[in-house]
């Protein structure tokens, strides 16, 4: 036989040399939940191994681990005290808000980190939706809500965030935020838009972690229909036209076809967010001894990158980085 494909699979060195998909810790983003208070390290019951941290030395311990693993970026989600939540998400743009505190702390102690701040209202509102709610109809008021998102983004960049990530899936949110940042002379602040965010049941553990479950209805009127792929391309292209520098697609595992399609249609970096439900399913099965956790997370990361993700946002970032740094992935 002249053609023997197995020759390129003979040993680990040859397999590494000829790998078509290559992963590096620099492509990883680690999401972190920041809870208001002091001296808090609180495990999230629905996400074993993940924690809520107060914006003090407890957060610094978590960030130090990230830096030691050569991960360059983190994504902050804020969790204010329940009694501070209101209809307009005012804790989200408070200069002394929980995320703003965390950003300043992180930039002071770990200036080499890219700090990405989630721009949304759901964690900060008493109704749990991502925009203002019309009192009579219960409808999410799209255009009125944009001003709130602008305030949140400006506050986060003023605190030192390198990148803001609008996740509300409201029409025009990227253009509104870009204009607001530019008007404040924050021309270099990047926008990492959740351009393609599907209405998914995979977000369940996150909503427990962040206390962001909607108090009524659902988010299907603003998050994407899982049946649609071409719409994902439209959303991504629209956000790029409005000023997004990079786009995020979530969830990851069940939407690999969408990642591939979007990646082929745009020139900007594409991130896939391996969401809380994906993480928790693996954890639960691994704890039962039903699968090999390390092998599964490696295979999922490879599949996501192979589909076209340039960036991977994942709660397994530290574990994956360790595998990459030791030559095991």
Give the residue from 294, 322, 326, 328 showing the smallest Cα distance to 69. Answer: 322
Per-residue DSSP letters for 249-262?
A: EE-SGGGHHHHHHH
Q: Is 84 an active-site residue?
A: no
Element spanning 71, H or E: none
List of residues 6+ apart from 68 with CB closer than 8 A: none
Interhelix angle 317-325/57-68, nearest 10 degrees = 30
Q: Is 234 an active-site residue?
A: no
Counting runs of H as helices and runs of E as strands, what totals does the chain give? 11, 12
The pair of three-digit structure tokens given for residue 16, joined into one six-digit string: 């590494």
CB 239 within 8 A of CB 149: no
CB 129 within 8 A of CB 141: no
The count of other CB atoms within 10 Å of the CB of residue 147 is: 13
Place of tokens 């008021």: 141
**Calpha distance 201→134 (Å, rounded):** 25
Per-residue DSSP letters for 182-226?
A: HHTT-TT-EEEEEEEEB--GGGHHHHHHHT---SSS-STTTSBPT
Which residue among 58, 85, 250, 283 is the active-site one?
250
Which residues sit opposite 79 in a β-bridge?
35
Which residue among 38, 70, 136, 197 is the active-site one?
197
DSSP E strands, 238-294:
246-250, 270-274
Give the residue from 222, 228, 272 showing the smallest Cα distance to 247. Answer: 272
As annotated, the active-site residues are 197, 250
């Amino acid at each position: 036989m002249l053609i023997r494909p197995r020759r390129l699979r003979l040993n680990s060195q040859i397999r590494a040399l000829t790998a078509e998909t290559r992963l590096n810790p620099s492509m990883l983003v680690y999401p972190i939940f920041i809870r208001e208070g002091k001296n808090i390290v609180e495990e999230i019951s629905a996400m074993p191994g993940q924690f809520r941290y107060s914006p003090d030395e407890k957060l610094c311990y978590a960030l130090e681990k990230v830096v030691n693993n050569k991960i360059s970026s983190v994504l902050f989600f804020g969790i204010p005290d329940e009694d501070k939540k209101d209809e307009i998400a005012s804790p989200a743009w408070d200069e002394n808000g929980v995320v703003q505190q965390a950003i300043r702390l992180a930039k002071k102690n770990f200036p080499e980190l890219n700090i990405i701040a989630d721009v949304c209202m759901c964690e900060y509102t008493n109704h749990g939706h991502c925009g203002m709610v019309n009192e009579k109809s219960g409808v999410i008021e799209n255009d009125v809500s944009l001003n709130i998102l602008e305030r949140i983004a400006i506050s986060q960049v003023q605190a030192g965030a390198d990148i803001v990530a609008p996740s509300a899936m409201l029409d025009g949110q990227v253009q509104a935020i870009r204009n607001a940042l530019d008007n404040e002379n924050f021309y270099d602040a990047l926008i990492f838009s959740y351009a393609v965010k599907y209405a998914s049941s995979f977000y369940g553990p996150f909503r427990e972690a962040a206390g962001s479950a909607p108090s009524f209805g659902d988010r299907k009127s603003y998050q994407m229909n899982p049946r649609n792929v071409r719409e994902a391309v439209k959303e991504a292209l629209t956000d790029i036209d409005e000023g997004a520098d990079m786009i995020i697609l979530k969830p990851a595992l069940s939407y690999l076809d969408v990642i591939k399609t979007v990646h082929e249609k745009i020139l900007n970096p594409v991130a896939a967010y391996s969401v809380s439900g994906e993480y928790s399913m693996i954890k639960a099965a691994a704890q039962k001894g039903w699968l090999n956790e390390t092998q599964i997370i490696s295979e999922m990361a490879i599949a996501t990158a192979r589909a076209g993700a340039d960036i991977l946002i994942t709660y397994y970032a530290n574990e994956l980085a360790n595998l990459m740094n030791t030559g095991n992935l």
